[in-house]
Amino acid sequence: MFAWRGIALRVAVILAVAGPARAEPADPHIAKARAHIDELALDLAQTELDLALRAGDSDRTRLVEIHRMLGIVHAGLDRPERAVDEFRIVLALDPRAEVPAELGPKIVEPFADARASMQGRAPLAVRLEPYRAGNAELVVVVESDPLAMVKQARGRFVVQRGGESIVVGPGASRIALAIPAGATRASVAVLDEHDNRLAELDVALAVRDTSEQPGIFGRWTVWGGVAIGAGAVGLGFALAARSTQAELDELEQMAMPPFSRVDELDDRGRRRTLIANIAFGAAGAAAVVSTILFVRRPGARVAVAPAPDGALVLISGGF
């Protein structure tokens, strides 16, 4: 008991004095765990540390602190295997981590075993695939995860006018996050099973210019299709009107043509001619709109070239 009390006091001093500086506010569960260690209430300390993990709001530095304390607590409770597991997590997150030799073999030896088991295994490492303007996704690549801690990634995107959008994507090795429209910056957190932040990455995004992405009625190809379709309809009705007129001409050559049939064919021919004219007019208007939209496209060129009987208007551009 006295030996462990001495260790507990040294642990408390080391964690309080040598613990890493952080910008985040102190975790109340960690503070309670320290107090329980001072009082030798190791089971209660473990409970508080487990609560700190499950709270899911710790960054990588705090996770190292929590798992190191858990390793020390398990070692103090004569659970060396669990202590080794916790120390492995510490080393996967921070391969330069140590425990002071003055804590004694009860703690130092499990830590040494954990380090030996991690030899040749790269620590946790993640990166973002190179971002290029216009990309629809931001891709997180997990280059190394020796203990399979990564469960998902969360992107916090800052959009134009100061808004914010959060996108979450599951995965363990390659995680794609859809980029919201108008996003200018992203902060990406790689998360463990409790949503603790194993790694954090920031990237500036080029705002996708949607000004050159017209709607469906702003595309020259749509109006070109309308022109072709309307022209085809007009041609069909024009041919039908011509056929009707031919039949009407045959009837009028008769000595006593059936006037009811003549009137019927005359009405039908007029209707078909009217529809053909309307369709041809619509085709012409759509063709004009299509040409204007095509000429206004970036890279389009218009030139006038001489011809034997006048001049030619040449329009060129990319499709």
| pLDDT at residue number 256 | 65
Domain for residue 12, yes or no? yes
Give a yes or no: residue 211 inside a domain: no
In this structure, the answer to whether residues 167 and 243 fall within a common structural domain is no
Coil, helix or strand at residue 277: helix
In terms of domains, do 250 and 173 share one?
no
What local confidence, expressed as pLDDT, does residue 15 receive?
52
22 inside domain: yes
Give the C-alpha separation, 106 to 83, whole Å: 10
Q: How many alpha carbons fall within 13 Å on the CB side of residue 268?
A: 16
Q: Which of 60, 86, 117 corresponds to the end of one domain?
A: 117
pLDDT in the model for residue 214: 62
pLDDT of residue 56: 92
The neighbouring-strand residues paired with 315 are 302
Q: How many CB atoms lie within 10 A of CB 28?
A: 12
Q: Please choose, from the candidates 116, 110, 142, 115, the residue with its C-alpha nearest in 3D space to the C-alpha of residue 128.
A: 142
CATH number reported for the structural domain that contains residue 97 in this entry: 1.25.40
Please indicate, yes or no, whether residues 145 and 113 belong to a single structural domain of this protein: no
232 part of a folded domain: yes
Backbone angles phi, psi at 143, to 5 degrees: -80, -30
Predicted TM-score (pTM) of the model is 0.61
Residue-range definition of the domain harbouring residue 285: 216-316
* 225, 253: one domain: yes
The answer on 224 and 194 residing in a single domain is no
Classify residue 210: in a domain, yes or no.
no
Instruction: Decide: 208 and 181 in contact? Cβ < 8 Å.
Output: yes
CB-based contacts of 229: which residues, under 8 Å, 6+ apart?
283
- In terms of C-beta density within 10 A (0-12 exposed, 13-18 middle, 19 or more buried), how is residue 71 classed? buried
Domain tally for the chain? Answer: 3
Cα three-residue angle 98-103-117, rounded to 5 degrees: 45
Question: Of the residues 88, 117, 146, which one is the last residue of a structural domain?
Answer: 117
pLDDT of residue 10: 52
CATH number for 154 = 2.60.40
C-beta contacts of 156-160 below 8 A and 24+ residues apart: 156/186, 156/187, 156/188, 156/189, 157/183, 157/185, 157/186, 157/205, 158/183, 158/184, 158/185, 158/186, 159/183, 159/184, 160/184, 160/207
Same-domain pairing of 134 and 42: no
Q: Clarify whether residues 249 and 162 are in a common domain.
A: no
The per-residue pLDDT string of the chain (319 residues; one tens digit each, 9 = 90 and over) reads: 445 555 554 554 455 334 444 445 578 999 999 999 889 899 999 999 999 999 998 999 999 999 999 999 999 999 999 999 999 999 999 999 999 888 899 999 999 999 999 999 999 999 999 888 778 899 999 999 999 999 999 999 998 777 889 999 998 899 999 999 888 899 999 999 999 999 999 988 875 555 555 667 677 688 778 879 878 887 887 787 787 777 767 766 776 667 666 667 677 778 888 887 897 888 788 788 777 777 666 554 544 445 555 544 444 555 4
- Inter-residue contact 280 to 234 (CB < 8 Å): yes
At residue 310, what are phi and psi to the nearest 5 degrees? 155, -120
Partnered with residue 183 across adjacent β-strands are 159
* Listed residue (74, 53, 54) closest to 64, CA to CA: 53
Q: What pLDDT was estimated at residue 22? A: 46
- Is 209 within a domain? no
Residue 136 CA: distances (Å) to CA of 56, 178, 195, 220 = 29, 6, 25, 25
Domain-terminating residue out of 89, 117, 145: 117
On whether both 112 and 153 belong to a single domain, the answer is no
7 and 98 in a single domain? The answer is: yes
Domain identity same for 87 and 14: yes
Are 239 and 295 within one domain?
A: yes
Quick one: 94 and 200 in the same domain? Answer: no
Question: Are the C-beta atoms of residues 129 and 105 closer than 8 Å to each other?
Answer: no
